[in-house]
Amino acid sequence: MRLIPALSVKNRRVVILNNGDYEPVEDEDGRPLPPWQLARELFKHWDCLYVVDIDGLASLDPQFDVIRDISDHGELWADTGIASAEMFMDAIIAGASRAVVSTKRMYSEDLLGEVLEVSEEVIFEVAYRDGVVCLRAPLHPGTRWSWRVQRSPRVWIQYPSSCWAARWVWGTGIS
């Protein structure tokens, strides 16, 4: 088993989640701690970091400059809210050794196959609730998002080569 510390970044600052709110991590002088500075210290003790880009996950606006700064110090796995093969490539070009593709951000069941054509350095996250895999998809251009679901996460785990080609069922009540 490999333990990898995680570093959450929002608005180009290291943050922690406290009672549902992201709060900046501060240095000993009370100033927000730059991600690269904490990463440099963590790389003294760990060979890899897992960076969670809160802005990328929330708004599809990844902080690739932060990924670039942190990757200068060591191996980096990045969760930036990838929603396309181009965004995956951008994360790798920015310096991520591996990048997360999650069913939570997939607009198409073809995304995983498209990403695997670019690189095999993928961390694949299967998000599920109440026994069904969740995929995110727009209802219509300019409208709110809805969830699409597939019957079981077991399908994704046992039969990965056929998962992105499977038929999808529109669902409601998944948040």
As a whole number, the mean pLDDT across the chain is 79
Residue 108 and residue 86 in contact, taking contact as beta carbons nearer than 8 Å: no
pLDDT of residue 21: 93
How confident is the model over 91-101, as pLDDT tens digits?
Answer: 999 999 999 98
Task: Return the domain boundaries, the chain.
Answer: 6-125, 126-175
Local confidence band at 137 (pLDDT 50, 70, 90 cut-offs): low
Topology, domain 6-125: TIM Barrel (3.20.20)
How confident is the model over 27-60, as pLDDT tens digits?
Answer: 899 999 999 999 999 999 999 999 999 999 888 7
Q: Output 76 or 156, whichever has higher pLDDT.
A: 76
Instruction: Give counts: helices (H), strands (E), the chain.
Output: 7, 11
Provide mean pLDDT across the span 67-75.
Answer: 93
